[in-house]
Structure 1
Amino acid sequence: MTDRILVENIEPENPSMRIAVVTETWPPEVNGVALTLSKLIHQLSLRKHTIQLIRPRQDKFDTASEHAGWSEILLRGLPIPKYPELKLGFPSKKSLVKAWSVKRPDLVHIATEGPLGWSALQAARVLRLPVTSDFRTNFHSYSKHYGVGWLSKPIVAYLRKFHNRTHCTMVPTRALKTQLQAAGFENLHIVARGVDTQLFHPGQRSQTLRSQWQADENTVILLSVGRLAAEKNLDLIVKAFQTLAKNGRHVKLVFAGDGPYRAKLQADCPEAIFMGMCSHAELAHIYASADLFLFPSLTETFGNVTLEAMASGTPVLAFDCAAATEVIEDGHNGWLVQEEDAQRYVLKALEITQNTATLRTAKSHAAESIRPWDWQEIVSQVEAIFRNALTMGSKA
């Protein structure tokens, strides 16, 4: 195996770019979009690109940071219904036209499609700036979980209009690309999400943590990581755990994360362990100390937690969609359940835990299979897409 090359030691082969990145979520907010976008932007900064981050102010104490190669523009925002800790940016076209007229970027990259993202798209068109975008969140799927399923078609129409006005839209999986193409989306490019394999790896397994969970060497720790919300299909995790326990499996269930669904989960499954919000360092130990990662979500565009679990040496049981389809070889480094069948998901969990050798074998393959998903390759793909957009923009 060849030695890994750190980004810090790579000199860019092409001139650096001035990239304006527009997002309505950013750390310390904890969600897949914020975390993966911040990792991508950090890696681009290491490659000597100049970054201008445009985002909503997270609270009254939030201040813009500025240093060599990095600056921020903070704008007004309002809480998202059901997600009060997250913000939607207010329409800000005039502010962005003014800012970009003074400090013109080479390219605008829009990560979220809210009012701030739409304003950025309009401002970029006024100034004839090339624009790229991400499709990161299945808003049209989430709407069904919050009593506004009737909005699904209008939301898809808005997203199609939004993304088709950009030079290209990055999507994380082949399946999503096919789905969006069928819905009329154009200029789609597959760019997977990366995973930090230096942080998430099997060596993070902690016997101290397992002891805190009162787990011995024969205990199978079932793990869920992520926001505790209705659209995550977490009731199926509880059902699987309770079925395993009733069938004599020596199992414990751990939830890492928080959210509006926590109270219901605690009421339905008081024997589960709730870790609450965890830092990346804490999650690295939690992933590696578990034995089977349960991921029954059907609404993800990707599901970064799948990669993080597998990089940590913990095999995953998931439906055959999103990231799971891309990275899991059924029966080798994890398991895929077809047709969104909840009963089949539970039966597969029973089958997996019947013999501990089954889990051990999958664990031995999980981390190695994720190595190609390290951030180095992902950032190189994004750079190439940005440069292509610049070329197209100059010809417009």
Structure 2
Amino acid sequence: MRALDCTTEAPCPPSRLRIALVTETFPPEVNGVAMTLERMVDGLVERGYDMQLVRPRQASDSTAAGVRGFDEVLVRGLKLPRYDRLRFGLPARSRLLREWSRRRPDLVHVATEGPLGWSAVTVANTLRVPVTSDFHTNFDRYSAHYGIGWLRRPVAAYLRRFHNRSATTYVPTAALARSLGDQGYARVEAIGRGVDTALFDPLRRSEALRRDWGLAPDGLAVISVGRLAPEKNLGLVLRAFAAIREQRADARLILVGDGPLRDTLARTCPDAVLAGTRHREDLAAHYASSDLFLFPSQTETFGNVTLEAMASGVCTLAYGYAAAAETIRDLDNGAVVRCGDEDGFIERAIQLAVNDRLRAELGEAARRSAEGLSWGHVVDTFADALLRAWRRGGAAQPWPAATGAGGRAD
């Protein structure tokens, strides 16, 4: 850890600050939240923090513990409806009370808002351990895409109540911090995201992969990466691609990801390449081998895929919010259009598809922009934020008596 000035107002932490991070998703699950948390946990371990990860048990888990360089507490979970590969954690109050009474963390950080996360906040407050939280997903906005729009206000109220029980809520953009503040969130702080520019690199472009997609040497590969789900606005991707095909018969649509719409897309878009879920170098090759990245989602809190495409040197078109609003300058290092302007999105997609030179220039500029977005800086910022939270709420708290240790097994 960094050298620190220690005073009565700002006491020094223990030699290894012990942080319990609670999440309902973590690799090998594939989603932006899981990948971000893995980066954060690994980065904190490298910086000397004593990490404990609390999460639902996954099908791939063995009985081995501590093999990743940090402790793990595995709790019961259930499959998430319509997302069989993801799980949500069941309430685990008794289990966490036992664990944290036996070995008290200095700070609890809760990354997801499900039943497991609620249990973690409750136990941390009971033991008077400072607790912070992440806001990763606009779950209230998802309701409209699944025919349960009437739940939007109750879900929004639950999320606000959840996060206001923590000392600070961390979000990935300043715009989201302002938005949540306007909605009644008490303490919100923005901490950005990074991208691995060694992994996502234009040099991973593969002509063999492009041939596998059925592209001619000068053909246009239009790619979309993410869950194949209603909230990703894939209908606009399909409409934009149809308009592109009217101008460029050599274009091919590549859909990377999996989800509840996969079978529907296979039936309605027989010419599209459904590449499924891809990982690390394989995923990076899919990005780099493409020519135009379309990302019209309006439900993101950030959208890691935006940075991954930019780092891969791919011309990126997105709505002007979340990651795109903070990293893309229109027609300088990518393209952005006003949120909800579907006609504008399609028009800009056509403009980029037919102008090879412009597309290449924007892709090169995107790569240069991404090179300044290192994960190391992001982890340092996160570590400093957690340390401030500990100093505000943890240093003066007495060690509470270990109570409730005989609860049920979770």
TM over 0.5: yes
Q: How many Å apart are 1:347 and its aligned residue?
A: 0.9
Q: CA deviation at 1:163?
A: 0.7
| Structure 2 residue 124 is matched with structure 1 residue 124 | yes
Q: How does 1:90-101 map to 2 (within 5 A)?
A: 90-101=90-101
Residue 171 (structure 1) aligns with:
171
Q: 1:13 aligns with which of 3, 11, 23?
A: 3
- Match of residue 37 from structure 2: 37
Q: Is the 8 A contact 1:318 1:335 kept in 2?
A: yes
Distance in 1, matches of 2:263 and 2:213, equals 20
Equivalent residues in 2 for 1:210-221 (5 A)?
A: 210-221=210-221
1:64 CA drift (Å): 5.3
The alignment partner of 1:294 has SS state of strand
Judging changes above 3 Å, is the alpha-carbon distance between structure 1 residues 357 and 378 closer, same or farther for their aligned structure 2 residues?
same
TM-score by length of 1: 0.94
**Within 1, Cα distance between the matches of 2:252 and 2:338?**
25
Q: Which runs of 5+ in 1 are unaligned?
A: 1-10
Q: Which amino acid aligns with 2:314?
A: T
Once the 2 structures are TM-superposed, how far is the Cα of residue 266 of structure 1 from its aligned partner?
1.8
CA spacing shift, 1:64–1:299, aligned 2, 3 Å: farther
The Cα of 1:202 is off from its aligned counterpart by 1.2
Q: Which residue of 2 aligns with 1:338?
A: 338
Instruction: Give SS of 1:275's match.
Output: strand
Cα deviation for residue 29 of structure 1 reads 1.0
Q: State the number of aligned residues.
A: 386
Q: How does 1:190-339 map to 2 (within 5 A)?
A: 190-339=190-339
Cα shift readout 1:363-386 (whole Å, capped 9, x = no counterpart): 110111012221011001101111
Following superposition, the deviation at residue 195 of structure 1 comes to: 1.0
The answer to whether the Cα contact below 8 Å between 1:90 and 1:116 also exists between their aligned partners in 2 is yes
**CA deviation vs aligned residue, 1:34-57 (integer Å, no higher than 9, x gap):** 111111111111112111110111
The amino acid that maps onto 2:165 is: R
Q: Distance in 1 between matches of 2:177 and 2:188?
A: 7
Contact in 1 for aligned 2:316/2:363 (Cα 8 Å):
no
Distance 2:22 2:122 in 1: 12
Deviates most, 70-79 or 248-257 = 248-257
What's the offset of the Cα at 1:395?
4.8
Aligned 8 A contact 2:113 2:162 in 1: yes
| CA deviation profile, 1:295-339 (whole Å, cap 9, x unmatched) | 010111110000001001112100111111011010011110113
Partner of 1:137: 137
Farther off after superposition, 383-392 or 194-203: 194-203
Closer/same/farther in 2, CA of residues 218 and 48 from structure 1, 3 Å limit:
same
Q: Residue type of the partner of 2:108?
A: V
Partners of 1:249 and 1:353 within 8 A in 2: no
Contact 2:205/2:288, CA 8 A, preserved across alignment: yes
More displaced 10-residue stretch of structure 1: 83-92 or 286-295: 83-92
In 2, distance between residues paired with 1:61 and 1:111?
20
Compare 241-250 and 331-340 and name the one that shifted more.
Answer: 241-250
* AA aligned opposite 1:293: F
Could you tell me how far apart the structure 2 residues matched to 1:250 and 1:241 are? 12
- Is the 2:216–2:250 Cα contact (8 Å) retained in structure 1? no
Q: Matched residues in 2 for 1:229 and 1:302: separation?
A: 17
Asked if the contact 2:292/2:353 (under 8 Å) is kept, the reply is: no
RMSD of aligned C-alpha atoms? Answer: 1.6
Q: Aligned runs of 1:43-122 on 2, under 5 Å?
A: 43-59=43-59, 62-63=62-63, 65-67=65-67, 70-122=70-122
Structure 1 segment 377-388 matched on structure 2, within 5 A: 377-388=377-388
Q: What is the CA–CA distance in structure 1 between the aligned matches of 2:2 and 2:198, rounded to whole Å?
A: 22
Mapped partners of 1:144, 1:160: distance in 2: 19
Q: Which amino acid aligns with 1:13?
A: A
Structure 1 residues 69 and 358: alpha-carbon distance in aligned structure 2, compared to 1, 3 A threshold = closer
* Aligned mates of 1:102, 1:26 — CA distance in 2: 25
The alignment partner of 1:372 has SS state of coil
Separation in 2 of the partners of 1:68 and 1:106?
21
The 2-side partners of 1:62 and 1:256 are apart by 29
**Secondary structure in 1 matching 2:329:** coil
For residue 8 of structure 1, what is the aligned residue in structure 2? none
CA drift of 1:61 comes to 5.3
For 2:87 and 2:214, locate their aligned partners in 1 and report how far apart those are by CA, in whole Å: 39
Give the percent of matched residue pairs that are identical in Structure 1 and Structure 2. 46
Which AA in structure 2 matches 1:294?
A: L
Contact 1:49 1:69 in 2 (8 A): no
Q: Structure 2: which 5+ residue stretches go unaligned?
A: 5-14, 398-410
- Shift in Å, 1:216: 3.4
Deviation at 1:60, TM superposition (A): 8.2
Secondary structure of 1:353's partner?
A: helix
**Contact 1:258-1:276 at 8 Å conserved across structures:** yes
CA distance in 2, matches of 1:325, 1:63: 43
**Contact 1:64/1:72 (8 A) holds in 2:** no
Tell me the residue number matched to 2:28.
28
CA distance in 2, matches of 1:33, 1:248: 36
User: What is the aligned partner in structure 2 of residue 152 from structure 1?
Assistant: 152
CA distance 1:390–1:222, change in 2 (3 Å): same
Alpha carbons of structure 1 residues 366 and 232: separation in structure 2 relative to 1, 3 Å: same
Query: Which gives a bigger RCO, structure 1 or 2 (Cα 8 Å, sep 6+)?
Result: 2
The separation in 1 between residues aligned to 2:388 and 2:44, in whole angstroms, is 16
TM-score, structure 2 normalization? 0.91
The one-letter amino acid of 1:329's match is: R
